[in-house]
Amino acid sequence: MPFSFYTDRPWKITSAEPGSKCPQGTGVAFGGTPEKVTITRSDGKTPYPEGKYLERVNMIVSRGNYEIHVLPLILPWATIQFVSDGPAESTDGSWTADDNIPGPG
């Protein structure tokens, strides 16, 4: 999948570990370039360091901080998962988000 899979759709956090910087119900958007990916919450804050998009595996990573990957597609929406990849103080708990594109019906 291209980088635009992340950037061309709104995402909404559907579940989050307690204390997450992106709690359940928060909107998130991805921006920047594949080399410098930003994660911005719906309140305009960017709670995580920049990451890098790895096209070969369709993931966004920030070494020692986090990994974001696509879960198996369950149509009609897409789901991504944020997983902490470092000490607890470097980022925080994991979260899952669905694309926030209105579906049929």
79 is a domain residue: yes
Note down the domain range covering 88.
Answer: 4-97
What is the pLDDT averaged over residues 31-56?
96
Per-residue pLDDT tens over the stretch 32-43: 999 999 999 999
| Counted domains in the chain | 1
77 is a domain residue: yes
- Predicted confidence at residue 101, as pLDDT, reads 63
Q: Is 52 exposed, middle or buried (0-12, 13-18, 19+ CB in 10 A)?
A: middle
Quote the CA–CA distance of 53 and 93 in Å, as a whole number. 21
- Predicted confidence at residue 48, as pLDDT, reads 93
65 is a domain residue: yes
What is the pLDDT averaged over residues 81-101?
74
